[in-house]
Amino acid sequence: MTELKALELLKEYTTKPNLIKHALAVSAAMKHFAALANQDPQYWAVVGLLHDIDYELHPDCHCHSCVGILHDHGVDDDVIHAVQSHGFGLCCDVEPILYMEKVLCAVDQLTGFIIACALIRPEKKLELVTLESIKKRWPNKAFAAGTQRERIEQYCEKLGYSFDYVAEQTLIALQAVADELGL
């Protein structure tokens, strides 16, 4: 599946602009990490775009109905496994095994946290966010309160990376698509 087809499919099941922007942000981070690992950035971008395909249908327990949706649209089983695995321990028992799946678990909520760091600035620009500003807000549990910090840190560790490295690379990826995100 191409990125364009994945985006069309996402928009078929997702109507909320912020959820679409979230998928674009995760897709950008996935694409960036794929390039760093000499993997196929387009393939990883599709995973990022589709990871919350069923979120509007089942916000409390997505990652289940995605199987039928994605199969019906000819999405391969590896993408489906990756999409499901990002809900492991939350609402799904499909464990992330592949490097790509662990990256998805690390960057999914981290993209939202970094975007929140941009949105609190008067300029609302990702270009003004720094690793230091991310790290400054990270311990403040009241800031972006829904962010599961321990989960992100756990997946950074599973990848063999420091939180700083993953946060910095995710920030770079988001800054590259700031215009598309409106930030």
Whole-angstrom Cα distance, residue 80 to residue 83? 5
How high is the pLDDT of residue 66? 87
How high is the pLDDT of residue 61? 74
On whether residue 180 sits in a domain, the answer given is no
Whole-angstrom Cα distance, residue 28 to residue 52? 15
On whether residue 24 sits in a domain, the answer given is yes
Find the mean pLDDT for residues 67-94. 89
8 Å CB contact between 55 and 64: no
Which CATH number does the domain housing residue 124 bear? 1.10.3210
On whether residue 51 sits in a domain, the answer given is yes
On whether residue 101 sits in a domain, the answer given is yes
Find the mean pLDDT for residues 87-96. 83
Q: State the Cα torsion 155-65-30-27 to the nearest 10°.
A: -140
How high is the pLDDT of residue 90? 75
On whether residue 182 sits in a domain, the answer given is no
On whether residue 183 sits in a domain, the answer given is no
Find the mean pLDDT for residues 22-43. 98
For residue 106 the two structure tokens come to: 């690390």
Number of domains composing the chain: 1
How high is the pLDDT of residue 60? 76
On whether residue 50 sits in a domain, the answer given is yes
Q: 97: domain range? A: 3-175
β-pair partners for 132 = none
On whether residue 181 sits in a domain, the answer given is no
Query: 69 falls in which pLDDT band (50, 70, 90)?
Result: very high
- Single pTM value for the model: 0.95
